Amino acid sequence: MPWNTSKPSDGAPADVALIERSWLRSFELHRLDPGRGEPPRVLTTSALKDHREPMACFMRIARGGMEALFGQIRDAGYVVLLADTLGVAVDFIGNPLFDQDWRRAGLWLGSCWTEEKEGTCAVALANLEQRAITVHHAEHFRAPNKTLTCSAVPIFAPDGRPLAVLDASAMESPDDRRSQHLVLQMVQSAARMVEDANFLHEFEHHHVLKLARRRDFLEVSADGMVVLDEAGRIVAISQSLREQGALVAALGRSVEEVFDHRFEQVADAARQGGYPLAMRHLPTGTQCFALVRPPRRRPSAAPAQASPSMAGADALQAIAGHDPQMQTNAQQALRVLDKGLAILLHGESGSGKEAFAKAMHEASARRAQPFVAVNCAAIPETLIESELFGYREGAFTGARSKGARGKIAQAHGGTLFLDEIGDMPQAMQTRLLRVLAEREVTPLGSEQPIAVDVQLICATHRDLREMVAQGQFRLDLYYRLNSVTLELPALRDRADKNALIDSLLREDGRQLYSRAVAITAAARDLLLRHDWPGNIRQLKNVLRTAMALSEGEPVSPEHLPAEIHGGQPPVLPPERMLSLGGVEAQACAKSGADEEPGKRTSLLQALQAHQWNVTETARSLGLCRATVYRHMQKWEIVSPNRLGH
């Protein structure tokens, strides 16, 4: 576990390649004139407010890092900028003596540093490539920027999403770009400081383990941080660990599965002042040390009293993208969150209902509490009751000896996401209605009700009104669930397909090749013309397969499956049929046409390879989970984990 490896330094040759590519785009894609004279555009105060408001909370935290950085470099004539992910400078610190000069150079609050307008520049490149970079003097594309030297570093949210860019710029500097190496390092450490402070703030109500390989450095400079929820599960890791790929596999596991300590020991250390624990990372046997930061007490017992999260609101905006209908959905969601209303998401399979529900949870006052998702279509009818409501010991033959908490009780204080609610059996509809009315749940075999307080979000691709008309869904439950219905557009109807393609190439490219992967105009054109029956999930799978086939080179038409070319879906052997992302939509859409015996074997092998983890299996095969469950039911494949029930 290489926690203490230092990050790659300046990496000048890599910078040169990025800068060359950006120049090409500036000429060919953005058709900019390098000789144009004006400085960057500066937004009006009210337009700037729209950029600052959503990140107000983060900006307060970032200010500390900006001031510390400015203190180190002000005498050398640098200013410090914080830009949002659209390249707008939302905060600025410079020596006020030179205000006029900064403003003329575009180093000013509200200035827009995008590649589309400015061509090659550091803030735009840090945003696009999501890595630290210096753009020095003539490396800038436009003439007025060529005297500048700018070093910019992206800052990430706890979930790995880009949040902002920190930049240090000067109007005068030596010609040799190596003179900026140290400045870039300083911006990097300030960015990391801001990122860590934001991380600790987001998880102030959790136990946080600060980890280091060397005990002496633990208190002054930890190698990374790990967050535990109330049940001792690892729910987040800091960006430093994420970048090194360390502990990513530990997410979602309990602390004792990953380290040789139980949660009680960790909580005990926290109570006694967080003394350093000597720990062993079980999968690798690596020794490390941990300081435990205890959770801060909530000011009130009710979690719903906390203030809404600005970072969460950002997450919601990010999921909404640039599509007007999705933006309206995000605004409406923000208005109705934390008001005790049930929310219904309606949209085709793969259109992002669960992703949107998660983002809503992150934006709500319940964000530090659990988000529990239940797919009603995936649980066999005989198990749905115990799964949802829980059971007491000995409630039925095969019940676990200690009983089990149901999903509804697990979501207490947080959000319960009921996916495919249209598939919930009628008897369960009646029980759910009672839970919603009485705000308590009675586990099977028990007479003792447990009080529950959950934000309920349901999702379906079905027409519930039609189901009500046909007597398949209870009218009273329908009214309870849809205080607010948000319609998620199908991908083919989204106005921001281009931006979605770019963000998937950037995010998944980062995972596969540590950088964004480009796409040719011809391939993009094919993607834009396709009608995407499997929606964003299908697009994501097609792009991942294409990126793998292109080996990181720009994705071009030959990397795309036949159906994207407007042809018939490829006729493939069953194994490939299940393993190609591009056929996901077909598999989802027509589960009746897939009877070949070879497919059962392929699915079985994939499930075994992923230790019967359906989510992982679905991901590896490029299918949606519901389809995997459907196939399992149809082909009578039973998980060994279920045999005991």
Ligand X SMILES: Nc1ncnc2c1ncn2[C@@H]1O[C@H](COP(=O)(O)OP(=O)(O)OP(=O)(O)O)[C@@H](O)[C@H]1O
Please name the residue ranges forming H helices in 337-439. Answer: 353-363, 381-389, 407-410, 426-438
> How is residue 26 annotated by DSSP?
I
Please name the residue ranges forming H helices in 272-411. Answer: 310-320, 324-336, 353-363, 381-389, 407-410
- Min. distance of Cβ 500 from ligand X in angstroms? 6
Q: What is the 3-state secondary structure (H, E, C) of 203-215?
A: CCCCEEEEEECCH
Q: Residue 607: which of 599, 598, 617 has the closest Cα? A: 617
Packing angle of the helix pair 353-363, 324-336 (nearest 10 deg) = 40
Q: Residue 414: which of 374, 365, 485 has the closest Cα? A: 365
CA-based radius of gyration for the chain: 26
* Binding positions for ligand X, rule: CB under 6 A: 319, 321, 347, 349-355, 419, 461, 504, 536-537, 540, 624, 626
Cα–Cα distance for residue pair 625/627, rounded to 1 Å: 5
Q: Residue 237: which of 132, 155, 160 has the closest Cα? A: 160
| CB-nearest residue to ligand X | 352
457: three-class secondary structure by DSSP: strand
Distances (CA, A) of 43 to 47, 114, 424, 504: 6, 13, 51, 28
Q: Residue 135: which of 99, 91, 102, 165 has the closest Cα? A: 165
- Min. distance of Cβ 503 from ligand X in angstroms? 6
- Report the relative pairing of strands 234-237 and 224-228 from DSSP bridges: antiparallel
- Report the relative pairing of strands 133-136 and 149-156 from DSSP bridges: antiparallel
Contacts 24+ apart (CB under 8 A), 217-221: 218/276, 218/289, 218/290, 218/291, 219/291
Distance of alpha carbon 488 from the chain centroid? 18
- Min. distance of Cβ 286 from ligand X in angstroms? 31
- Min. distance of Cβ 344 from ligand X in angstroms? 13
CB contact set of 327 (below 8 Å; sequence gap of 6+): 317, 320
Cα–Cα distance for residue pair 135/12, rounded to 1 Å: 10
Nearest 10 degrees: Cα torsion 634, 640, 643, 644:
-160
Written as six digits, the tokens of 195 are: 């990122």
Positive or negative, the Cα torsion across 508, 512, 515, 518? Answer: negative
458: three-class secondary structure by DSSP: strand
128: three-class secondary structure by DSSP: helix
Q: Specify the residue, 388 or 618, whose C-beta has the smaller distance to ligand X.
A: 618
Residues in the chain: 645
Please name the residue ranges forming H helices in 171-323. Answer: 181-202, 239-243, 255-258, 263-271, 310-320
* Residue appearing with tokens 């949802």: 388
Q: Specify the residue, 230 or 496, whose C-beta has the smaller distance to ligand X.
A: 496
Q: Specify the residue, 542 or 606, whose C-beta has the smaller distance to ligand X.
A: 542
